[in-house]
Amino acid sequence: MKQFDVLVVDDEAEFRDLTVKILNKRGINARGAESGEQAMEILRHALIDVVLLDVKMPGIDGIETLRQIRIQNPLVEVVLLTGHASVESGIEGMKLGAFDYLMKPIELDPLLEKLSFAYEKKRLHQEKIELAQMKKHMAMPS
Amino acid sequence: MERKKQYYNTITRRLLIAFFCLSILPITSFAWIMKNSVEETNIFKLQELAKSTIEHRAEVISRFLDDKINLLSSLESLFSQEYLFSQANVERIFLAINRTGDIVDLQVIDVAGNQHAYVGPYRTKVEGKNYNDAPWFTETLISGIHVSDVFSGYRNTPHFVVAVTNSLKSYVVRATINSSMFNALLHSAQLGPNGDVFIVNRKGELQTPGLLEKNTLSIEEKQLLSFDNISNSLVTGTDVYTTRWIHNGHWLLVLRANIKDSLGYYLRLRNRIFLIVIGISFVAIAAATYVSFALARNFERSDKEFAALGLQFSQVEKMATVGRLAAGIAHEINNPLQMITNQAGWIGELLPDEDPAQIKNLDEYLHAVEQIKHHVRRAGTITHRLLGFSRKMTAQQESVQVNDLITETTSFVEREASYNNIHIVTRLASDLPTTMTDGPQLQQVLLNLVGNAIDAVGKEGEVTITTWLEPPDKIVVECADTGPGIPSDNLPHLFDPFFTTKDPGKGTGLGLYISYDIVKKLGGSIAAANRKGGGAVFTIVLPVNRFRRQG
């Protein structure tokens, strides 16, 4: 599996830390953020491929965070995680451009699978952009 | 239930009383008042008529008597004593004055009571008779005039005597008058066929036989004699009496008018009115009874409907509350479940790193981790179903033929059912329209119902699925089985989440809850009942949507 960077955003420390630990063990560069604000801060400086985002959080919630990520880092893929009844919030998140949403409880393997699909999508997308840029450079040599 | 019945009986009774008071009572009292007042008016009029009649008759009779007295008086003033004492002369006079024939005989008697002349049929009997001791003779000499009561005497016909004396009281002229003349005079005064007119004296003896040929006076008639007024009237139950004293208070002229005679027309009218009133009363009673019972029955029915509606409403409300509650609980459980699966996963991650030689039961640990994950998955399935995760209600809307859906669904379970000798019968209406709905979701409901039905039947039986179009736009699907039916205690809880009668571990108790939820979200309704012949029946009612629903 290719190495990629994941940001786990969840207000519940136990879940966040454990998930980060497991992901790291599986060879994924993961780090945690305890709130939407902190996540935005990290995204501004660090290179992140996929964000695992809890929908229900104190402060700015998952949906709002997602909205800001789309503006600030449009290439970053977001996977929503909800323990909440509201399928609607999952659907709303998808409409806002989330890659997918997962319902708690989710086991490790499906989670990993979903995250790598998200990364794959992001990678392909990025490749296309790079290809286009290359074409641009080749068409217009400086 | 008994109290309710009593309540409706009270309503019926009150309505009946109200109708009675409003219809029969007024009619009856009106008829009663009319009857009395008309009767009184009639009696009053009859009395008036009787009074004027008797006045007139009294005058005629008085004049008749005066006539006779005047006749005798004029005889004695026209002729001298010598002339009248001659038999031949008196005979001539008798012939002259008796044109009408009402004078039976004529006598001339001197002061000493010796008869001087007699004309009449009883000459031999009165020949040489002395009247000196006769009370009437003495009275005539004293008061100048005498009129006797009516008597038969030896003449054998009713008659009375008029006698006058001359101014010198030297002789008396006496005439016997046939009293049957009175009858003729009174006859025209009769009012009605049962009316009567007669004359009585002070002693109550009839002076004329009366038109009805009776001989004695009734008690009421005797009572009339005790009145001393010149004229009087008395109303008894059957008759109106009018009286007038005539002939200086010696005789009483009595006129009796029968009320029934004069009221004949009125009485006929009254009877007819009574018949009509009785008829109307019967009709009114019948109508009132019918209306009262019908109204009470309507009350009862609408009350029942209202109660049923209330029950239905509370059921819907309960389901909504339970749904919210279940979702809340599911959510709260999901987070710990997530932690459990994560921790178990972490153990699973770390275990392979350990030295197998150091861990005696490595396989057991790995197995335990797997089991933990398995049970979390199971719990997760339940919470997910509760939360509606497996049924996204942005449901796809497509044109669905419910009949096809049923055919497809039954094909899934037919084989399994046939192992247990359960026959699945479908009676599908050919004119069923398609509807815009969520096919897979609806199929889940149908599968659930048919599955339940097969479980209920167990072995050997029938599951019948019927569809029909309820005009104008409702599709009804009925799933009936020949199982034991649903205990009535369970009916209210049937659609509650986690309510199951199946063995633990076999059913989650969510099937009907989810079916209920799906059908409700599809805009329909689902209900359960027991069949009369045994077994349960589930009925789904779905709207026919011709266009995609918005939102």
With contacts defined as CB-CB under 8 Å, which chain A residues touch B373?
Answer: 107
CA–CA distance, B467 with A130 (Å, rounded to integer): 60
CA distances from B31 to B24, B26, B39, B269 (A): 10, 8, 12, 12
- In this structure, the answer to whether residues B86 and B97 fall within a common structural domain is yes
Q: Are residues B483 and B376 in the same domain?
A: no
Q: What integer pLDDT is reported at residue A24 of this predicted model?
A: 92
Closest CA to B410 of B466, B368, B361, B458: B466
Q: What is the pTM of this model?
A: 0.47
**Predicted pLDDT at A136:** 86
CB contact under 8 A, B345 and A22: yes
Residue B260 domain flag: yes
Same domain, B402 and B522: yes
Interface check for A132 against chain B (CB to CB < 8 A): the answer is no
- Residue-range definition of the domain harbouring residue B407: 398-543
Same domain, yes or no, for B413 and B533?
Answer: yes
pLDDT at A79: 93
For chain A positions 85-114, those within 8 Å of chain B (CB to CB) are 85, 87, 91, 103-108
On the question of pLDDT at B314 being above 50, the answer is yes
pLDDT of B304 above 70: yes
Region B525-536: mean pLDDT is 88
Is residue B358 assigned to a domain? yes
B70 is a domain residue: yes
Mean per-residue pLDDT, A12-25: 92
Residue B389 has pLDDT above 60, yes or no: no
Lowest mean pLDDT among B135-139, B259-263, B542-546: B259-263
Maximum mean pLDDT: which of B146-160, B206-220, B476-490:
B476-490
The overall average pLDDT reported for chain B is: 82
Residue in B334, B385, B394 to test binding to A, most A beta-carbons within 10 Å:
B334
Instruction: Assess whether B322 and B425 both reside in one domain.
Output: no
Q: Tell me the pLDDT tens digit for each residue of B58-96.
A: 888 888 888 888 888 888 888 888 888 888 888 888 888
Which B-chain residues 366-385 have CB contacts (< 8 A) with chain A? 373, 376-377, 379-380, 384
Q: A12 and B335: CB-CB below 8 Å?
A: yes
Asked whether residue A1 carries a pLDDT value surpassing 60, the answer given is: no
Section B266-277 average pLDDT: 82
pLDDT at B97 over 80: yes
Minimal Cβ distance to B346: which of A12, A22, A104: A22
Backbone phi, then psi, for B114, in 5-degree steps?
Answer: -90, 135
B249 Ramachandran zone, left/alpha/beta (phi>0; psi -120 to 50)? left
Domain count, chain B: 4
Residues B327, B283, single domain; the answer is yes
pLDDT of residue B266: 76
Residue B299 burial (C-beta neighbours within 10 Å; 0-12, 13-18, 19+): middle
Per residue in B180-202, pLDDT (tens digit) is 777 777 877 777 777 888 888 87
Q: Are residues B275 and B252 in the same domain?
A: no
Chain segment A54-101, per-residue pLDDT in tens: 888 888 888 899 999 999 999 999 999 887 655 667 778 888 888 988
Taking contacts as CB-CB distances below 8 angstroms, the residues of chain A near B339 are 14-15, 18
| B228 is a domain residue | yes
Which of B176, B191, B207 finishes a domain?
Answer: B176
pLDDT of A30 reads 94
Among B96-100, B150-154, B165-169, which stretch is predicted with the lowest mean pLDDT? Answer: B150-154
* Domain count of the fold of chain A: 1
Output the pLDDT for position A86: 59
B345 and B443 both lie in a single domain: no
Decide which of B352, B387, B422 is a domain's last residue. Answer: B387
B382 pLDDT higher than 70 = yes
CB contact under 8 Å between B337 and A104, yes or no, is yes
- Do the Cβ atoms of A18 and A133 come closer than 8 Å? no
Confidence grade of residue B390 (pLDDT, cut at 50, 70, 90): very low
Q: Looking at per-residue confidence, does A56 or A112 come out higher? A: A112
Q: Say which residues have a Cβ less than 8 Å from residue B198's Cβ, sequence separation at least 6.
A: B186, B206, B207, B208, B209, B210, B211, B253, B254
B221: left (phi over 0), alpha (psi -120 to 50) or beta: alpha
Provide the mean pLDDT of chain A. Answer: 88
User: Does the distance separating the beta carbons of A87 and B343 come in below 8 Å?
Assistant: no
CATH of the domain at A39: 3.40.50.2300
Does A22 contact B380 at a Cβ distance shorter than 8 Å? no
* Residue B3 domain flag: no
**Which of B387, B406, B440 delimits the end of a domain?**
B387
Residues 6+ apart with CB under 8 A from B486: B494, B528, B530, B536
With vertex at residue B247, the alpha carbon angle to CA B47 and CA B109, rounded to the nearest 5 degrees, is: 155
* Least confident range of A8-12, B26-30, B239-243, B544-548: B544-548
**pLDDT exceeds 90 at position B270:** no
CA separation, residue B165 to residues B161, B169, B172, B310 (Å) = 13, 6, 4, 115
| Residue A27 DSSP symbol | T
Mutation for B interface: A107, A109, A111, A112, most B CBs within 10 A: A107
Comparing C-alpha atoms, which of A33, A103, A29 is closest to residue A68? Answer: A33
Residue B404 sits in the same domain as residue B510:
yes
ipTM confidence score: 0.85
Within 13 Å and on the Cβ side, how many CA atoms surround B389? 22
Upstream peptide bond of B336 is cis (omega within 30 degrees of 0)? no
Q: Are residues B527 and B430 in the same domain?
A: yes
Residue B37 covered by a domain: no
Is B219 contained in some domain? yes
Range of weakest confidence among B29-38, B147-156, B212-221: B212-221
Q: What is the pLDDT of residue B1?
A: 64
Is B349's CB within 8 Å of A18's CB?
Answer: no
| Residues whose CB falls within 8 Å of the CB of residue B48, separated by 6 or more in sequence, listed in order | none
- A112-121, B271-280, B447-456 — most confident range: A112-121
Domain with A50, as residue range(s), is 5-139
Tokens 């009115």, residue? B273
Residue B9 identity (one-letter amino acid): N
**Residue of chain B with shortest Cα separation from A106:** B338
CA angle at A66 for the pair A61 and A70, rounded to the nearest 5°: 155
Q: Is the pLDDT of residue B392 over 70?
A: no
- Same domain for B431 and B469, yes or no, is yes
pLDDT of residue B68: 85
Residue A123: the pLDDT is 92
Out of A35-44, B398-407, B461-470, B492-501, pick the least confident.
B492-501
Torsion of CA B37, B42, B47, B48, to 10 degrees: 100
B31-45, B207-221, B435-449: least confident range: B207-221
Pair (B405, B513) in one structural domain: yes
